Chains A and B, each alone.
Chain A
Amino acid sequence: MSKELLRVQDLKVHFPIRTGGLLIGQYTPLKAVDGVSFTLNEGETLGIVGESGCGKSTLGRAILQLIKPTDGQVLFMGSELTGVGAEVVRQKREEMQIVFQDPLASLNPRMTVGDIIAEPLTVYRPKLSKAERKELVRDMMAKVGLLPQMINRYPHEFSGGQCQRIGIARAMILKPKMVVCDEPVSALDVSIQAQIVNLLMDLQQEMGLSLLFISHDLSVVRHVSHRVMVLYLGRVMEIATRDAIYAAPLHPYTQALISAVPVPDPDVEKNKERIVLGGDLPSPMKPPSGCVFRTRCPKATDICASDVPVLEEKVPGHKVACHHWGVPDKKLV
């Protein structure tokens, strides 16, 4: 495998939430991300899946230092990002960008498309002349499938899919090494999703990008990712190659997730026995003791309440955090 680009070591993001106290507040930590470790190689896509509230977006932002991690390390191209000065982080951000979920909300409505896409250039390449900058912006617009003559229009004149292309152009214009894609297609129509997924994959190939692809949609993640990480309540449940995760998931949560996805095939759908998890996600303010998934886990026993399962390599290249890990006993899809 190619060179390591990003290493995340035991990363924690805890938000203090005021839970009481009259004058002197009492605070309880909300553990949005709680001890996450993984690596990302050059040119690789790591899919990060989980339900809302599992900490996947917080994780993405904490890696970019948009949210300050409480503890742990982020090493990007060998250099530390946590606990260093803002200026060091700012310099590194040239190589790491983000694409947001809501295409319209992430674009300044008062700026023209040209100015939005050029903004990273004005920050990181101040020596460029106006004409050179415009040239780069036009090239980038063509590359993401926007007509370069639309350069002076405003975001509201574009559809959702086109706005997402603008967001992607802005992220790519500095030719970064890594892009965090935070639910980049979730807000888009089905017919537009495929366009944006193809665009991201083409750009990745062309520029040798690494992607952290955060999504709740397991079908899309399967299509784009080389490896997949499954999060639940701020912790890693399972991480493995794409094929291992989808063909032989070892964690009961991953198995339930995959089985829960409705498949656009009536015969498959009518004959499958879906694993239906009871209840809802527990509050991250009061996570269950031991394994955080045990309250909804069909395999939970006493040990799950007392001992926190460690994320270990159970099969070569396949890490699971579960006391009762094993291949699913029935067909999932």
Chain B
Amino acid sequence: MTAVLEVRDLSVRFATPDGEVSAVNGVSFDVNEGECVGIVGESGSGKSQLFMSVMGLLARNGRTLGSARYRGTELVGMPVKDLNRIRGDKIAMIFQDSMTGLTPHLRIGRQMTEVLVQHKGMSESQAVKRALDMLNLVRIPEASRRLAQYPHELSGGMRQRIMIAMALLCEPELLIADEPTTALDVTVQAQILDLMSDLKRVTKAAIVLITHDLGTVAGLCDKVQVMYGGRFMETGTVRDIFYEPAHPYAAGLLSSMPRLTEVRSEKLYAIPGQPPNLQRLPKACPFQERCDFVHDRCVSELPLLREVGPGHAKACHLVSLQNPVTDPAAPSLAVA
């Protein structure tokens, strides 16, 4: 498989009045052709900032270290002019909030055709035709009427579908969806998930799905990467993560979710403590303060990702969750 996106040792730092904040700390991964990768994490885990930095969309006080290559071309530090040739054309992004993702004072048609005229050099009429095709693909009723409407005239589900249609206009090779269904009602979310799994089959685009919802990941993704405190805690196939989680955080997240299917014991498992404060992240394992199996080594050495099975890796000192003693062979970085 060929990689569409190769990220190596990528870090994101923000300069704030209270000192530097590390949102992402040295992550490396590939997104291959036709693959759907889920990035799972809670708020503040760095999951969104990771891809904002790949797209060159960080806030002004942010900077990216490391490397992110799209088909061999380095994106980090690329001039905006060159970046704009790739963004929207080869790599497209869908944002969570469809009201702020669309420009409120421009008609849908204008917003959709702009990208085609810019990137593909289409004429206005060609672009309108292509926009209509896309609206039909995402199953928007009365597509031609929508082109003349403004974003506020449409419902949330409809706007999210338009965002998806816009992202697909130039047939991107990589589609980054940042919490695409979080703001939607559950029946509308079902429509969008249904649509996305169809698109996965029809288009050959690689998809990155950034979310906190393990349910949406289970249905759509092939691979999953679990983030915490700006690092990958566990990476693997969707089956690895859901059926054989190896990291205490991934396992804890899964068992803290109430289920529709099984009758559970009266009490939910709850991960103790609070989400991490990025300004005061522990130097070693970021999850140490909330982990049920914390050892001395977790406080003094940062665990690095290591394979626990083919394509399945975890960043944890433990031998396994069944045998929660530290593994002397586990690779780590000593921190003072």
Give the interface of A toward B (CB within 8 A).
51-52, 159, 161-162, 189-195, 197-198, 201, 216, 218-220, 222-223, 246, 256-266, 268-270, 274-278, 280-281, 296, 333
Q: Is B115 an interface residue (CB 8 A)?
A: no
B149, chain A: closest CB distance, angstroms: 14
User: Whole-angstrom distance between the alpha carbons of A216 and B258 in the complex?
Assistant: 14
Partner of A266, one of B194, B219, B261: B219
Interface code B194-238, partner A: CB below 8 Å = 1, 0 otherwise? 100000000000000000111111110000000000000000001
Give the interface of B toward A (CB within 8 A).
42-43, 155, 157-158, 185-191, 193-194, 212-219, 238-239, 242-243, 252-254, 256-261, 264, 266-272, 274-275, 290
User: Whole-angstrom distance between the alpha carbons of A240 and B219 in the complex?
Assistant: 29
The answer to whether A276 touches B219 (Cβ under 8 A) is no
Given A189-B212, A268-B261, A269-B218, A52 and B274 contact (CB-CB distance below 8 Å)? no
The answer to whether B258 touches A222 (Cβ under 8 A) is yes
User: Whole-angstrom distance between the alpha carbons of A259 and B215 in the complex?
Assistant: 12
A263 surroundings in chain B (CB, below 8 A): 215, 218, 259-261
Partner of B242, one of A195, A262, A265, A278: A265
User: Whole-angstrom distance between the alpha carbons of A258 and B190 in the complex?
Assistant: 11
The answer to whether A257 touches B261 (Cβ under 8 A) is no
The answer to whether B260 touches A222 (Cβ under 8 A) is yes
Task: Give 10 new A-B contacts, CB below 8 A, not counting A281-B185, A333-B260.
Answer: A159-B275, A189-B212, A194-B269, A216-B186, A219-B257, A256-B187, A261-B186, A262-B218, A269-B219, A274-B190
Given A260-B189, A268-B261, A198 and B267 contact (CB-CB distance below 8 Å)? yes
B256 surroundings in chain A (CB, below 8 A): 190-191, 193-194
User: Whole-angstrom distance between the alpha carbons of A107 and B144 in the complex?
Assistant: 47
A73, chain B: closest CB distance, angstroms: 30
Residue of chain B at shortest CB distance from A185: B258
A39, chain B: closest CB distance, angstroms: 24
A-B contacts, 18 of them at CB < 8 A, read A52-B185, A191-B275, A192-B275, A194-B271, A195-B272, A197-B268, A219-B259, A256-B187, A262-B193, A262-B213, A264-B214, A264-B217, A265-B261, A266-B243, A274-B193, A276-B187, A277-B187, A333-B261
User: Whole-angstrom distance between the alpha carbons of A189 and B185 in the complex?
Assistant: 18
The answer to whether B191 touches A190 (Cβ under 8 A) is no
B252 surroundings in chain A (CB, below 8 A): 191
